[in-house]
């Protein structure tokens, strides 16, 4: 998982790849939590916030691209 400051430096393709990896990590954490193997449940919230950050950056770039196309 990339740090918050590094996310802004990634290209759109790299952001999408990071989003896929982070969603997979969230899935793994949910399974570990459901089976009682997850000790630090705060990780679930951190990963959800990371997904939201990545989605926000992707949407910001889509808006900039749409405005540039007008």
Q: Which residue has the tokens 């790849």?
A: 17
What's the pLDDT at 3? 63
The answer to whether the predicted template modeling score (pTM) of the entire model surpasses 0.95 is no
- List, for residues 20-35, the tens digit of each pLDDT value: 999 999 999 999 999 9
Asked whether 50 and 22 are in contact (CB, 8 A), the reply is yes
For residue 28, report the phi and psi dihedrals to the nearest 5 degrees: -60, -40
Give me the domains of the chain, ranges plus CATH numbers. Answer: 10-69 (1.10.287.310)
pLDDT value at residue 32:
97
Q: Is residue 7 within 8 Å of 53, Cβ to Cβ?
A: yes
- As a whole number of angstroms, the distance between CA 18 and CA 1 comes to 7
Q: Is residue 6 pLDDT above 90, yes or no?
A: no
Q: What is the structure's pLDDT at 70?
A: 73
Across the range 28-53, mean pLDDT stands at: 96
């Amino acid at each position: 998982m990339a740090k918050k400051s590094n996310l802004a430096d990634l290209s759109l393709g790299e952001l999408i790849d990071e989003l896929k990896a982070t969603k997979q990590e969230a899935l793994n954490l949910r399974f570990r939590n459901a089976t009682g193997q997850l000790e630090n449940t705060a990780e679930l919230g951190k990963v959800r916030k990371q997904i939201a950050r990545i989605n926000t950056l992707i949407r910001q770039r889509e808006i900039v691209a749409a405005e540039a196309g007008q």
